[in-house]
Amino acid sequence: MKAIKHPIPITIMYGLVCGLSFVPLSLTLNAFFVWSSAVCLTLWLFLAGYAILLNHWRKKALISSVFPLLFMVPTIFLSDSMVLFFILALMVISWIRSAICFQKPGALGLTVELLLCLLGAVVVPVFTPGSVFAWALGVWMFFLVQALYFVFFEYSDNQQEESIQMDAFERANKQAERILTEVYFH
**Structure confidence by residue, pLDDT tens digits, 26-83:** 999 999 999 888 988 999 999 999 888 888 877 777 777 888 888 888 888 888 878 7
Of 13-17, 99-103, 135-139, the range with the lowest mean pLDDT is: 99-103
HSE at residue 7, side-chain half, CA atoms within 13 A, is: 25
Q: CA dist 46 to 40, 94, 105, 181, Å?
A: 10, 15, 26, 33
pLDDT class for 185, splitting at 50, 70, 90? low
* Residue 104 DSSP code: S
Question: Rounded CA gap, 87 and 153, in Å?
Answer: 24
Give the separation between CA 141 and CA 136, rounded to whole angstroms: 9
Choice between 92 and 180, residue whose per-residue pLDDT is larger: 92
Q: What is the C-alpha separation between 7 and 4, in angstroms, rounded?
A: 10
